[in-house]
Structure formats: structure tokens, C-alpha cells
Chains A and B, each alone.
Chain A
């Protein structure tokens, strides 16, 4: 009897610890059955049942979570890159920022620690809009300079050198923002360094300059290439390359970064977002180093610098005399936001509610829209359109932003749920063809996760039907089609914003709303004082906090450039200031790069692809830029691999942002329904057991079933 009591005490204590509610019920039972004490086995059964039920609840909950698609699947990687093979890799990045351009040198060292002759292949992501123009190969004491060649020819030369045992390197553009390097005939034990150099534009937004350099591993929200940019990269199908790369030996990858920052401005702050850095003042600016020598190349390097108040950028012109032509870069600085009063506008929000938006994406989009409503002024008009397989507008005609309409809109947003397909065209058409509101500038804000298939058709439609409206695109989620979103905003003379993290929505969207709330300088014209070929050809609107860059080729040195436009319907004019001595030959390369971008775009609007290819190729060869039609190739003249030694092919896994399409993670490929079924049977068994077993044995309810099992109980 004492023993029974002690077990009961223990059980009670356990139950109390585990589940207070349950324990209260348990106590009540014991009180009721105080005299006729409940068998300890019954109690054990009760507790087991309760635990089982709890398990079941947890089980059902997790299986729901799996179904919702909230987690990220598909293209993903699980760690930093490593070779795990004979080839090791160190990365050394040197950046020189001069005013508004940055030259980035990526030097990667290969050490063949194996016993075989190796061919190494690796990939590297690029910042958007950068121009790759130099490659050097350091073999022992020799330095081989890479040359720009037509892609097929470069490939032929490389393959020839590879099979004849010469050290060779080939850099190809795989996608808009990625290149691939191949390196043949690395002698066992030998170290080879490949230095790839490219130009990028410094970014400026909301009062601060920035430069972000993607590493071999980039957080996926930084975006990279996209499926839409996939370019054919066939031709190397000769080897049985390993499908699966090991992710190990992170220690093999050392990273060092050194930035020489010469801004020509006095700065109030320099920040590195994801790395610890040491900052040293230098003669002309600052030198910035990574603080930790053991840094892994696993996240984007982002450096931001903010000029002191009063030294914000003004419109500046830098030039370079290239002999037969002068190349110029013009920075158009917007007027300060405080100086312009908001003008009434019509804002049409379009939101994607297709099935792919389900989960976090839709939550983000809803938050963004609600914030957008708050930024509407008294005189603004607005409308909301949702689309999935079909599309529906909140109002047939945009309504003023009165509280009653805003409330209606908030309800509309709250009710949004994700299901159905992604049919964008009718929604865009609906927005573009809404009845016009006289005197109001129409701004269409398009929120989507951007998984579309018919980009070209859509872009064409936007180009044709948008007229005077402005299109802003906000892409959210992990792997949106950023290329399409950016392009459509460019055509729509608006801007594009990508938000990957829920925590960023409020901050980043607020800035966008604040920016587009103020009137922009529209219909900008640029007078160079002579015939000029400049890009982008369609100058976007100039919004507060977001300057524009133009690249031009001119017959002679310009003295001054005047810029005109319309601000709130009035004529507006300003003149650029010339910075003497700032330009160098990089301006020519950047001009060529922007022209190539424009040529690539022209293909969307029906230009003959073969003619475009020819134009790009000519330009790329003239200016020495890596494009989808040209590659950089460097070949050592003397063979280094003796005849008969086999060439192994090693791949260095350079893991890329999600959406880049070069490596795929693993999906969750089991539903676990058998386990659920087993649990279901277990629960059923328990329930049946309990009903038969207890407590009808002591006092049988009227009509209660009596089984042999219950009769055997004490």
C-alpha cells in the first residue's frame, strides 16, 4: 500500500511538472475517487494517453507547417564553399574607389596539393552592371595577360592549350552577373594566381554611398542572376563532372579585402555592414581592411560611406579623352527633398496573390501596402488591384485618399490570401487603362515575387501602354526574377526595390514611399553642347535621394553640360560642375558597358538578335569587355604538363545566391504520411483500449458495453 502511494505521488509530481492543467484534472479525479483509490495502472495509462495526444497535436502542427511553403526550398546552399579536393583557393580582393567608380581586383590563388595535373573550374558572382575587362595569370615568375576574344574562338584556344599541356585560363560570362573561370594544367604542388579585374559603379541612395561585392557565397536576399538571364553555356559537355560537390574544408578558403577609398569628399561615417573592418586614414582618403584575418568568403561585403552634411553630391561631370572621342560620366544629383512640396498624384497598387506568394511573401506584401496607404496625402487618389489567375480592382476608378476609402482599402488588404496562378498582364493592363485623373501623375506600384515566364511579352506591353504613368516594382521573397522587375521599372521610368527579409520591409518601403511622395524632375533632357551618344537613352525621372548616372561618348571635351526638365509642371534647369582630372580610361569601359546593356535591351523590343550580337561583339572587342559573346583567355606559350600525364578535372564549389541556378539544394522529399498513419492507428488503439478498459468496470453506465477485458479487472 505504501508503495502504491509513493508511485501515485511520483506520478502526480510528474504530471504537475509537465502539464498544470492536466494535473488539476488529475487531482480532481483522485479526490472523487478518494475512497475507492484508482488503480495505478489506470493513472499510468491516463498519463500515457495525454502525452500521446500532445505528441499528436505537435505532429499535426508540424505537418501543417511543412505544407504551407513558408520555409525555403529549392535552390539553396547549406554552407560555405570548399574544395575537398586537391585544389585549394584563397581570395584576395583589392578595391580602389575613385569618386564614383570602383575598380575591383579579385585575386584567387590555386594550390594544387594533389599528385595529378589538375584543371580547375570555379564561378564568381558580379555586382550588377559591372564590366569585366582584365585578367592576369601568374605562373611562377611569369605574368600572362588575358585577352578578349570572341567566345567560341577563346574556347577553342583554351581547349587547344589544355590538350597540349600549357597553362591556360579562360573567363566566360555565364549569366548577366556571373562569370566562370577555367584553369588548365596546374602542376602538382604548384601555385597559380588568377587576377580578374572589373569596374563597378558606386551606388548612392538616401544620402549614403555604397559598394557591395558579392562573395562566393552570398546571402540569398542580395539577389543575383535569375532564370530569365540564363544564357547558353554549352560546349564543355566532354567530362563526367561530379554532380555533387562536398561542402567542407572551409579553412582552405581565406579571404582578405583591402579598400582604397578616395571619395574627394569629407565623410561623416564609414560602415561595413557584414564584416569587421579596420579603417586607416590615408593621404587622399581612407584605407579599409578586414579586421579578422580568418574571414571566410561566405557573405557579401558591403561598405557604405556617408558624406558630411553640406557635401552631398552635386551634379558633376568627369571626362576622359580617349583620342578619337571623349568619354564622360555625368552624375545628376536631385534637388534636396526639403525644397520641393509634394504634388498630388494617383497611386495604383498592384499586388500578386498567386499561390507562390503564400507565406512570408504575402505577409511582407501586405505590410508594404498598409504602409503605402499611410504615405498617401490628402489630395492623392489611389486604387488597389489584386491578381492571381484573374485580377480584381478595389475601385473601378481611383478614389481620393479619404479615411472611408482608406478603411475600405485596409479591409481589402487584410482579406488578401494567396492561391491561384500568376497572370500579370491583365492586372497591369487594368492599371494602365484606368480612367485618367486630370492633373495627377499616375504611379503604379507593382508588388510581386516575380516568378513569371513571359517576360518579354510583358515588357513590351509595359513599353507600349504605360504612356505617362510611372512604374515602380517591389520584389519580395527569396528568389524573385529581379532582372524582369528592374527592367520593367527602368522602362516605366520608376525604380525597383527588392526586399528579402521581413525585418527590412518597414525601413526600406518607407524610404521608397517617401521618395516617390515627392515630385520628381520629369522629362529630363541633357544638353551636352554637341552631338552625344549617351546611355541610358531614356533618362529616368530624378527623385529626391536617388541620383542618376549617364555615360556619354562625345566628339570633343565638353565645357559644361546643362540639364533641363520639368518640376511640378514648371521648367527646371541646372548646370553640372566639372571635376577636373577625375576621369580615366575606365570611363570608356563603363560607357561601352552601358551601351552593351542598351543593345541587349533592344533585343526585347524586337531587334534582330543576329544584328545585336554583331554590334555587341564589335563593341566588346574594341573596348575589351567580357560579354555573353566574348571571353577572356590567357595562355602560357610553353607547355608545362609533360606528354602522357593525365589531366584531372576538379571543381571548386563556389556557392551562389539562391536563384542563380548553378547549384541546387535539396527539397524536403518525404511527406511522412506513413508515420502519421501509424500514429493515427496508435491513437485509435489507445482510445479503444481506454473505452473498453475503464472506468465502466466499477460503475457501468447504462447501456455501456462490457468486454472480456474489463471483466478481468479488479
Chain B
């Protein structure tokens, strides 16, 4: 004896279950991809440093690492990519276009993957930027929450500075909000990184 209402009812329930599984895979894949990509990029970075100019993080990659971002106080070492596209942001922090030249740098990252550590950065924390040519140390000087609908970031090619940008607030589970958290760091003057 079959209950006639069982069929459609169970179907709805099973669909919900299926969606749940798909969504779970879909959402967990994001932090996993973020982590995995960094590992692959690290390999490519060291291969390039060893002289293999054609080394790609993965064969179909359309970006390459431009710098290593390190924050010793929080045990952070991340590879910053060229090209500020959402596709690249999934793999790592990215340079805003035109700021890869090692002067006035703007680096964006996802609040809920790579740049979650921004919440714990404090004034005076040290930030290291290692490009293929050199390594520079910066000191966090300013943290600010801005509304991206009302403001833009100015690039001053004459200034040396680095700004880390991520979404705000940090604990918001959804994406797409207008607020951004901007951490600005200026070059470290006459102090060795170890003393900081």
C-alpha cells in the first residue's frame, strides 16, 4: 500500500538534500581552491626563480605571481597575482592594475579566504613585499573602513606605499556589500624587520 502523497513529498525532500550537498561542495571548494592555488603558485614561483621563465602555476593559468606578501606577526606568506579579476582573486590576493611597479601598490584579497587576517592587523605591524627584484618592508600606518560607492583609491606613482583592501565587515557571511577595509602601510624607516 502506497501513500499517494509520499512521492512528491519525498521528491521535494530529496531535492533539498541534493541541493544541500551540491551547495556544500560548491562552498567548500572555494577555500580549498584558494589554498591549493597558493601551493601551485609557490612551486611556479620557485621554478621561475630557478630560471624556468615559462613556468606556469597550472597549465591553463592566465596570470602569474608578481610578489610575495608576508606578515611575520601573523605567519602569513601569500603570493600576489597580476590582474585584478574575480577569477584571479579566487587564487590569491591581486595587484590592482597599474600598481605592480613596486611603488604605490594596491593589493586586494577575499575577506573570507586569503585576507581574513586583515582583521587582526594593527598599526605598526610589518608587511613585507618581495618582488622578483627586491624585498621591501612596510609598517601598517592606517586602517580605515570606506564605502566603495562613494570613494575611489588614488594611485600616486610618486609615493611608496602599500594598501591591502578587503571586504567589510569581516564576519558577514554573504558577499556583495559596499564597504571595504583598507589597510595602508608606509615604508619602514631605518629599522630592521627583526626589531619590529
Point out the residues of chain A lying under 8 angstroms from B26, CB to CB: 60, 63, 676
Known: A29-B5, A674-B173, A701-B6. A664 touches B23 (CB 8 A): no
Known: A421-B61, A479-B97, A678-B173. A687 touches B158 (CB 8 A): no
B50 at interface, CB cutoff 8 A:
no
- Tell me the chain A residues, 390-410 only, with Cβ under 8 Å from chain B: none
Point out the residues of chain A lying under 8 angstroms from B21, CB to CB: 680, 684
A679 at interface, CB cutoff 8 A:
yes
Question: Do B152 and A664 have beta carbons less than 8 Å apart?
Answer: yes
Question: Do B108 and A667 have beta carbons less than 8 Å apart?
Answer: yes
A419 at interface, CB cutoff 8 A:
yes
A668 at interface, CB cutoff 8 A:
yes
CB distance from A453 to the nearest CB of B (A): 8
Point out the residues of chain B lying under 8 angstroms from A380, CB to CB: none
Point out the residues of chain A lying under 8 angstroms from B17, CB to CB: 683-684, 687-688, 691
Point out the residues of chain A lying under 8 angstroms from B85, CB to CB: 69, 73-74, 356
Instruction: Give the docked Cα–Cα distance between A126 and B142 (Å).
Output: 34
A130 at interface, CB cutoff 8 A:
no
B136 at interface, CB cutoff 8 A:
no
Question: Do B86 and A666 have beta carbons less than 8 Å apart?
Answer: no
Question: Do A670 and B177 have beta carbons less than 8 Å apart?
Answer: yes
Question: Do B97 and A664 have beta carbons less than 8 Å apart?
Answer: yes
Q: When the two chains form the complex, which single residue of B9, B86, B97, B163 contacts A661, counting CB atoms closer than 8 Å?
A: B97
Known: A243-B163, A670-B177. A75 touches B97 (CB 8 A): yes
- Tell me the chain A residues, 49-100 only, with Cβ under 8 Å from chain B: 49-50, 52-53, 56-57, 59-60, 63, 66-67, 69, 71, 73-75, 77-79
Known: A73-B85, A671-B112, A687-B14. A421 touches B96 (CB 8 A): no
Instruction: Give the docked Cα–Cα distance between A232 and B83 (Å).
Output: 21
A532 at interface, CB cutoff 8 A:
no
CB distance from B17 to the nearest CB of A (A): 4
Instruction: Give the docked Cα–Cα distance between A60 and B30 (Å).
Output: 13
A244 at interface, CB cutoff 8 A:
yes
CB distance from A386 to the nearest CB of B (A): 14
> Which of B68-76, B99-107, B119-127 lies at the interface with chain A?
B99-107
What's the dominant secondary structure at chain A's contact region?
Answer: loop
Known: A668-B176, A694-B9, A699-B1. A356 touches B83 (CB 8 A): yes
Question: Do B27 and A677 have beta carbons less than 8 Å apart?
Answer: yes
Point out the residues of chain A lying under 8 angstroms from B12, CB to CB: 46, 49-50, 53, 690
CB distance from B164 to the nearest CB of A (A): 10
Closest to A232 in B: B157
- Tell me the chain B residues, 135-163 only, with Cβ under 8 Å from chain A: 144, 146, 148-161, 163
Point out the residues of chain B lying under 8 angstroms from A56, CB to CB: 19, 23
Point out the residues of chain A lying under 8 angstroms from B30, CB to CB: 671, 673, 676
Question: Do B101 and A230 have beta carbons less than 8 Å apart?
Answer: yes
Point out the residues of chain B lying under 8 angstroms from A422, CB to CB: 62
Closest to B171 in A: A674
Known: A669-B165, A675-B173, A683-B19. A33 touches B5 (CB 8 A): yes
Question: Do B148 and A695 have beta carbons less than 8 Å apart?
Answer: no
Point out the residues of chain B lying under 8 angstroms from A659, CB to CB: 97
- Tell me the chain B residues, 87-101 only, with Cβ under 8 Å from chain A: 87, 89-90, 94, 96-99, 101
Known: A419-B60, A664-B153, A680-B20. A690 touches B176 (CB 8 A): no
Instruction: Give the docked Cα–Cα distance between A69 and B90 (Å).
Output: 11
Q: Which of A419, A653, A659, A664 has the most CB of B within 10 A?
A: A664
Total cross-chain contacts (CB, 8 A): 280
Known: A29-B5, A49-B12, A670-B176. A245 touches B151 (CB 8 A): yes
Chain A: residues with Cβ within 8 Å of the partner, total of 95
> Which of A234-242, A464-472, A510-518 lies at the interface with chain B?
A234-242
Question: Do A354 and B97 have beta carbons less than 8 Å apart?
Answer: no
Point out the residues of chain B lying under 8 angstroms from A246, CB to CB: 150-151
Question: Do B86 and A69 have beta carbons less than 8 Å apart?
Answer: yes
Point out the residues of chain A lying under 8 angstroms from B51, CB to CB: none
Known: A49-B13, A665-B153. A679 touches B23 (CB 8 A): yes
CB distance from B104 to the nearest CB of A (A): 9
A451 at interface, CB cutoff 8 A:
yes
Question: Do A244 and B144 have beta carbons less than 8 Å apart?
Answer: yes
Instruction: Give the docked Cα–Cα distance between A59 and B20 (Å).
Output: 12
Question: Do B110 and A671 have beta carbons less than 8 Å apart?
Answer: yes
Question: Do B155 and A669 have beta carbons less than 8 Å apart?
Answer: no
Instruction: Give the docked Cα–Cα distance between A453 and B152 (Å).
Output: 26
Point out the residues of chain A lying under 8 angstroms from B154, CB to CB: 241-245, 651, 653, 662-663
Known: A237-B159, A389-B56. A671 touches B113 (CB 8 A): yes
| A573-596 to B contact mask, C-beta < 8 Å, 1/0 | 000000000000000000000000
Question: Do A683 and B16 have beta carbons less than 8 Å apart?
Answer: yes
Question: Do A230 and B157 have beta carbons less than 8 Å apart?
Answer: yes
Chain A contacts to B: CB under 8 angstroms: 25, 28-29, 32-33, 38, 46, 49-50, 52-53, 56-57, 59-60, 63, 66-67, 69, 71, 73-75, 77-79, 174, 227, 230, 232-237, 241-248, 354-356, 358, 388-389, 419-422, 451, 479, 651, 653, 655, 659-684, 686-688, 690-691, 694-696, 698-699, 701
Besides A29-B9, A663-B153, 6 other CB < 8 A contacts? Answer: A49-B12, A71-B86, A230-B157, A234-B157, A237-B158, A244-B144
Chain B contacts to A: CB under 8 angstroms: 1-6, 8-10, 12-17, 19-24, 26-28, 30-31, 56, 59-63, 83-87, 89-90, 94, 96-99, 101, 103, 106, 108-113, 115, 144, 146, 148-161, 163, 165-167, 172-177, 180, 182, 184
A-B contact pairs, 20 of them (CB 8 A): A49-B16, A60-B26, A69-B85, A420-B62, A659-B97, A667-B165, A669-B115, A670-B112, A670-B175, A671-B113, A671-B175, A673-B112, A674-B112, A675-B174, A676-B30, A680-B20, A684-B20, A684-B21, A687-B16, A699-B1
7 residue pairs, one from A and one from B, having the closest CB atoms: A661-B98, A672-B175, A355-B62, A676-B27, A74-B84, A683-B20, A687-B17
